[in-house]
Amino acid sequence: MSSADLREVEVAIVGAGFSGLGTGIALDRVGLRDWVILEDGDGVGGTWHWNTYPGVAVDIPSFSYQFSFAQRADWSRTYAPGRELKRYAEDCADAYGLRDRIRFSTRVERAAWSAEDNRWILTTAGGAVVRARFLINGSGVLTTPNLPNIPGVESFAGRTLHTARWDHGVDLVGQKVGVIGTGASAVQLVPEIAPQVAALTVFQRTPIWCFPKADVRLSGAARRALRTSAGRSAGRLLGQAFVEVTFPLAAHFHTRFPLAGRMESVAKAWLSSQVRDPETRAKLTPAYGVGCKRPSFHNGYLATFNRENVHLETEAIDEITPTGIRTRDGVEHPLDVLVLATGFKGVESDNIPTYDLVGESGETLGEFWDRNRAQAYQGVSVPGFPNFFTVFGPYGYNGASYFALIEAQTHHIVRCLTRAREVGADRVEVTAAANDRYFAEMMRRRPTQVFWQDSCSRANSYYFDQHGDVALRRSTTWGAARESRTFDLDDYQFTGAAVGARR
C-alpha cells in the first residue's frame, strides 16, 4: 500500500522495525489509534529485514531480546538467528493488528515543522505529503550502510556485496572472496562462508575483541519450561543479568566495577585456545581496552583463521581495482567477490533521523547537534522540535537490549501524548532548561565510563562522534525504565488553543 491515499494523521511513525512496531503497540494500548507507520522497506523487522547475510544472529540472549509482553517459547537457540527475529516482527505486526496501518516502500525524505497549524509535514521519496500532529522516529541508528571511502570501490568488476544488503543470488562456492571489515557482521559472516569458498581474505584494519558465546540449541525441555511464566521469567532474568553485567555495568560503571580488565583476560585466553599461529594471534589482538568499541561474541570466528583457505590481511588497503584489492605493500589480491562488512553510518548528525528534520527555527536536527553537540532530553526529545519524539536519540540507549530501550522510550512518549490529550494540547515541547539539565547530568555521570581510557584512541570506535562524545546513557536498564516512568511532565510545555479550556 502506498502513502498516496494518506494526507492527515494524528501520529506519523517512521520505520517498521521493532521501534516502530513497539510504538504502534504502545499507542494502541492508550487508545491513540490514529497513527501510521511509514517504512522504506517492503516488510517489517528493520535490522532483521535488511540484514540477511549468512550467519546473521542476535548477540543479546533471545530471552531479553524480545518485548516483555510478547515473549516467545519457541526460539530455536539461546541466541536466535536473524530469520527468527524477522518472523517475530511479522508475528508482532499480525498479533497486535498493526499491519493495515503500515505503508511499505515509503521512504520519508523530509519532515518540516509547520508552526502555523502545529503539524509536521512529511515528504516521501514518491512525492506524497503526509501531515501529522506528532512525529515519532523509529528509524534506528545502524540503518544506512556505510560504503568505505577507499579509492576505486566503484571500479571492482566482480560482484560487490554489503552485509546489510546481501544478494542471495550470488553463489560463493569455489570463489575467491575478500571481506573488508572485522566488526560484528564480519565476525558472524566469515566462519559461515569460509568452508564454501575457494579462498577467503579478511582485510582487517582494527581487530575486535571476540568472546565465546553461550549459543546452544534449546532442548525440548527448555522450550517446555519457557511455556510457563516461571520459566520465562527465569530465562529473562538470567539473560538480562548477563547483558547488564557485560555491558552497562562493565562499560558505564567501569571505575566502580573494573570488569573490563577481567573480560580482556577471558578474551585473550579464548584467542589463545582458538588460533594456532602466534603471528595471526598477535594480529587478532586489539591494542585497545575491552569496551572502547562494541565487542563480538562468536564460537567459530577466531578458529576460522586456522583454515588453509583463509588469510588475515592487516596491510592497509591502497586501492580497490577492477580485479581485486591492492594493499599498501603493493601486493595485488585477486578477487571474484568483494564483501563490504563495513558497517553503518553511526551517531552522525545526518543519520539520526535518516531524513531531514527541519525544526521551528528552520534549522535541521543535524545542524542543531553540530552546533550544540548531540543531545536529547532522556534520549527522546529536543527543544525547538515540538511534537517530535525519537525512540533512539543521544543519551537514550545504554547499550543493553534494544527492546528494553524501546519499552522505556515509548512509555516516555506515551506519557507525553496522553497528557497532551488530557489537556487538549496540540503542541508539546521539551523545555530548553530540562534538556540542558539532562545533558549536564549525562556529562556529570560520564567519568565512570570505560570509554575515557587512553587506549580508546586506538579503537576506531563508532561510539565516538565528531565531538568526541559517546552518546550512550550512563544508566542501568532498570534506571532508564524507572526514569521513563518518573520524569517530570512539567519538563514539557503543553500548549494550544484548547489547553486553558480543558484544564
Closest by CA position to 94, among listed 70, 74, 68: 70
Residue 218: count of CB within 10 angstroms of its CB: 20
Task: Check residue 457 for interaction with ligand NAP (CB under 6 A).
Answer: no
Of 348 and 429, nearer to ligand NAP (C-beta) is 348
Task: Check residue 300 for interaction with ligand NAP (CB under 6 A).
Answer: no
Residue 331 CB, shortest distance to ligand NAP, in Å, is: 16
Among residues 7, 165, 205, 328, the one that binds ligand NAP under rule CB under 6 A: 205
Task: Check residue 183 for interaction with ligand NAP (CB under 6 A).
Answer: yes
Binders of ligand NAP among residues 86 to 125 (CB under 6 A) are none
Among residues 129, 150, 238, 249, the one that binds ligand NAP under rule CB under 6 A: 150
Task: Check residue 376 for interaction with ligand NAP (CB under 6 A).
Answer: no
Closest by CA position to 402, among listed 44, 89, 60, 82: 60
Task: Check residue 180 for interaction with ligand NAP (CB under 6 A).
Answer: yes
Cα 368 from chain centroid (whole Å)? 22
Of 275 and 325, nearer to ligand NAP (C-beta) is 325
Binders of ligand NAP among residues 269 to 298 (CB under 6 A) are 294
CA distance linking residue 200 with residue 101, whole number of Å: 45
Give me the DSSP letters along 183-209.
Answer: SHHHHHHHHHHTTTSSEEEEE-SS---
Phi, psi (deg, nearest 5) at residue 203? -95, 110
Q: Which stretch binds ligand NAP (CB under 6 A): 16-24, 174-182, 210-218, 262-270?
A: 174-182
Among residues 108, 136, 161, 186, the one that binds ligand NAP under rule CB under 6 A: 186
Cα 369 from chain centroid (whole Å)? 19
Q: If binding means CB under 6 A, how many residues of this protein chain bind ligand NAP? A: 26
Asked if 3 and 29 count as a contact pair (C-beta separation under 8 A), the reply is: no
Q: Which stretch binds ligand NAP (CB under 6 A): 102-110, 183-191, 214-222, 412-420?
A: 183-191
Give the nearest residue (CB) to ligand NAP: 183
Residue positions counted in the chain: 503
Of 196 and 327, nearer to ligand NAP (C-beta) is 327
CA distance linking residue 85 with residue 283, whole number of Å: 34
3-state secondary structure of 94: helix
CA distance linking residue 326 with residue 201, whole number of Å: 12
Of 185 and 495, nearer to ligand NAP (C-beta) is 185
Of 404 and 430, nearer to ligand NAP (C-beta) is 404
Residue 186 CB, shortest distance to ligand NAP, in Å, is: 6
Spell out the residues 6+ positions from residue 475 whose beta carbon is closer than 8 angstroms to its own.
Answer: 248, 252, 398, 445, 483
Cα angle: 195, vertex 201, 206; to 5 degrees: 120
Task: Check residue 341 for interaction with ligand NAP (CB under 6 A).
Answer: yes
Task: Check residue 165 for interaction with ligand NAP (CB under 6 A).
Answer: no
Among residues 9, 21, 25, 57, the one that binds ligand NAP under rule CB under 6 A: 57
CA distance linking residue 450 with residue 288, whole number of Å: 11
Binders of ligand NAP among residues 2 to 31 (CB under 6 A) are none
Among residues 16, 26, 85, 184, the one that binds ligand NAP under rule CB under 6 A: 184
Helices (H), 277-401: 278-283, 365-372
Asked if 180 and 340 count as a contact pair (C-beta separation under 8 A), the reply is: yes
Q: Which stretch binds ligand NAP (CB under 6 A): 37-45, 97-105, 336-344, 486-494?
A: 336-344
Task: Check residue 148 for interaction with ligand NAP (CB under 6 A).
Answer: yes
Closest by CA position to 141, among listed 362, 484, 471: 471
Residue 245: count of CB within 10 angstroms of its CB: 13
Among residues 317, 320, 357, 471, the one that binds ligand NAP under rule CB under 6 A: 317
Among residues 14, 58, 177, 420, the one that binds ligand NAP under rule CB under 6 A: 58
Binders of ligand NAP among residues 63 to 82 (CB under 6 A) are none
Signed CA dihedral, 461, 402, 494, 130: sign only? positive
Q: Which stretch binds ligand NAP (CB under 6 A): 27-35, 86-94, 145-153, 264-272?
A: 145-153
Give me the DSSP letters along 324-348.
Answer: EEEETTS-EEE-SEEEE---B--S-
Binders of ligand NAP among residues 125 to 144 (CB under 6 A) are 142
**Site for ligand NAP, rule CB under 6 A:** 57-59, 142, 148-150, 163, 180-186, 188, 205-206, 294, 317, 341-344, 460, 462
